[in-house]
Amino acid sequence: MRAQPTASHYVNGRYIDDDRGAEIAVIYPATGERIATLHAATPNIIELAIESAREAQVEWAHLKPVERGRILRRAADLLRERNEALARLETLNTGKAIQETLVADAPSAADCLEYFAGAIASFNGEHIDLGGSFAYTRREALGVCVGIGAWNYPIQIAGWKSAPALAMGNAMVFKPSENTPLSALALAEIYSEAGLPDGLFNVVQGYGETGAALVSHPGVAKVSVTGSVPTGKRVLAQAGTEMKHATMELGGKSPLIIFDDADLENAIGGAMLGNFYSTGQICSNSTRVFVQKDLHERFVTRLVERTKKIRIGDPLDPDTQMGPLVNKSQHEKVLSYIEIGKQEGATLACGGNAPSLQGFEGGFFVEPTVFTNVTDAMRIAREEIFGPVMSVLSFEDESEAIARANDTDYGLAAGVFTRDMARAHRVIGQLQAGTCWINTYNLTPVELPFGGSKQSGIGRENSLAALGHYSQLKSVYVETGDVDSPY
Ligand code: NDP
């Protein structure tokens, strides 16, 4: 099972390598076997990446927006044409079930490229009437932007960051997580094939220090990170020392409030999507499921029935619904939180084990797990686990649910299930979260801004809002009369 790329990095339109960089072992999480070996970028490669991006960006920013959009559109088509191969690569690299990577990874990146390809020509400044004289604003590119990705949605994250950056006339240097370095290289190849000039999308591999070197480089104007809150804080502090623009897409401990009038099967479906998709490794997951008292027992009975039917196994088998976690340390972390949950006195309603599957004994599998009788103070209800572990909590009334849902430093996402639409909007209006759902969960179409409040982040990805975050405004005052000078 090999997935060795041509070389570790993609810079200025070609693959390059330098085996003096620290080794990066790429592991298939379902078996633990090594599928590729890469090297972290040496300082020389980082310099090359930023220099080529700076050179290419100037001309790129002067193209008509429709011309930039045309190239992104071609790249979106190539992503779709190669979806099967890209899904397989993503499954090998992340362990996520192929039935997911076929529909949620490269297709999401393709949607994003297509959206910004079309949107950019209409994203303009404004004309401001000053009574005789006038002013206008220009939306201008920032320059070289750095994208830093997490490992749960590697190609999607690379697409979500690069598409609005490039559409707006910037160049991007992208550093994937060292756990999942492969698919960003495939995206770089696709951009080149679609006609993107060399240097505009560079991929450099590495660990945290490579990310830090990129963030602190004086040639970089903006940084966009998808990762944990501690990493986000470090990067934001670093970016702040040089007043760089920053977008932070960070972690969460999001609440899902299910009222007793909700459609039971839909609410359970939403809670399961919000905890078990991608083996629970989704930042916006609803890991705190608050269920109203009168519905609680029926909810848990049916939830456990449905959860026990989830098929765990070979991620490349199209019938498999849940693959392994991404790596050994994540596996250990999730299992340790399951132990913590038991010790804290929560009831393990189902799951909780690391199954040994025939032919996949070295894989990082964990059963989908449901804890009930969880209280707000428990660590499993407060800390981000990033695995398939759902905490079910019970509540009595609306104001109590809202207060408890908001009792967290995070603010990434939230959801409500109810048939009472007035209540749904009233509750959503009071939840402290950047992205909310009513009667569904975890859908993130490119048309909708995505991002967090409180410690879950700053800025937004997707939608026209993302173009705002990859541009700066220039205000231009135009005098049509004489200069009124007292001198
Ligand atoms: P990490 O925070 O560990 O890493 C994120 C990225 O930042 C990695 O590429 C990492 O490199 C890099 N990095 C680490 N230290 C630095 C530094 N000092 N300067 C610059 N870059 C650095 O997150 P994970 O990869 O473990 O991803 C899981 C986290 O991501 C979860 O908290 C999850 O909630 C969050 N996430 C948020 C999303 C959102 O959109 N809000 C979406 C997906 C995930 P390396 O891996 O080599 O350390």
Give, for ligand 1, the residue of 8, 46, 178, 231 to mutate: max count of ligand atoms closer than 8 Å to Cβ. 231
**Other Cβ atoms closer than 10 A to 261:** 13
For atom 16 of ligand 1, which residue has the closest CA? 208
What does the pLDDT average to over 231-254?
97
Question: Is residue 283 among the annotated active site residues?
Answer: yes
Q: Is the dihedral of CA 206, 210, 211, 215 positive or negative?
A: negative
Question: What CA–CA distance (Å, rounded) separates 206 from 24?
Answer: 8
Instruction: Note the pLDDT of residue 1.
Output: 76
Taking CB atoms and a 6 Å cutoff, what residues make up the pocket around ligand 1?
148-152, 175, 177-178, 207-208, 211-212, 215, 225-228, 231, 234-235, 249-252, 283, 384, 386, 412, 452, 457
For residue 360, the 8-state DSSP code is: B
For atom 28 of ligand 1, which residue has the closest CA? 227
Q: Which of 249, 333, 257, 233 is nearest to 283 (CA)?
A: 249
106-119 vs 65-81: helix axis angle to the nearest 10? Answer: 160
What does the pLDDT average to over 212-217?
98
Residue 394 pLDDT > 90, yes or no? yes
Mean pLDDT of the chain: 98
What tens digit of pLDDT does each residue of 436-480 get?
Answer: 999 999 999 999 999 999 999 999 999 999 999 999 999 999 999
Q: Is 305 in contact with 337 (CB distance < 8 Å)? A: no
Question: What CA–CA distance (Å, rounded) separates 153 from 93?
Answer: 10
pLDDT classification of 230: cutoffs 50, 70, 90: very high
Determine whether the annotation assigns residue 283 to a binding site: yes
Residue 180 pLDDT > 80, yes or no? yes
Instruction: For residue 297, give both structure tokens.
Output: 């027992």
What tens digit of pLDDT does each residue of 339-365 get?
Answer: 999 999 999 999 999 999 999 999 999
Q: Which of 406, 407, 424 is nearest to 416 (CA)?
A: 424
Q: Which of 355, 264, 363 is nearest to 308 (CA)?
A: 355
Please tell me the total number of residues recorded for the chain in this structure: 487
Question: What CA–CA distance (Å, rounded) separates 105 from 92?
Answer: 13
Question: What CA–CA distance (Å, rounded) separates 470 from 472?
Answer: 7
What does the pLDDT average to over 313-328?
98
For residue 397, the 8-state DSSP code is: S
Instruction: Note the pLDDT of residue 408.
Output: 98
Determine whether the annotation assigns residue 457 to a binding site: yes
Q: What are phi and psi of 15, to 5 degrees?
A: -75, 135
Question: What CA–CA distance (Å, rounded) separates 87 from 96?
Answer: 9
Determine whether the annotation assigns residue 445 to a binding site: no
Q: What are phi and psi of 116, to 5 degrees?
A: -70, -25
Determine whether the annotation assigns residue 93 to a binding site: yes
What tens digit of pLDDT does each residue of 48-81 get?
Answer: 999 999 999 999 999 999 999 999 999 999 999 9
Annotated catalytic residue, options 90, 100, 249, 367: 249
Percent of the chain with pLDDT over 70: 100
For residue 456, the 8-state DSSP code is: G
Determine whether the annotation assigns residue 177 to a binding site: yes
Q: Which helix (H) or strand (E) holds 157?
A: helix 154-167
Give, for ligand 1, the residue of 105, 174, 177 to mutate: max count of ligand atoms closer than 8 Å to Cβ. 177
Residue 298 pLDDT > 80, yes or no? yes
pLDDT classification of 289: cutoffs 50, 70, 90: very high
Q: What are phi and psi of 188, to 5 degrees?
A: -60, -45
Residue 127 pLDDT > 90, yes or no? yes
Instruction: Note the pLDDT of residue 2.
Output: 86
Q: What are phi and psi of 321, to 5 degrees?
A: -105, -20
Q: Is 95 in contact with 323 (CB distance < 8 Å)? A: yes
What does the pLDDT average to over 228-235?
97
For atom 15 of ligand 1, which residue has the closest CA? 208
Instruction: Note the pLDDT of residue 112.
Output: 98
Instruction: For residue 479, give both structure tokens.
Output: 């005098």
Question: Is residue 161 among the annotated active site residues?
Answer: yes
What tens digit of pLDDT does each residue of 424-447 get?
Answer: 999 999 999 999 999 999 999 999
Q: Is 162 in contact with 201 (CB distance < 8 Å)? A: yes
Q: How far is the CA of 366 from the centre of ligand 1 (A)?
A: 22
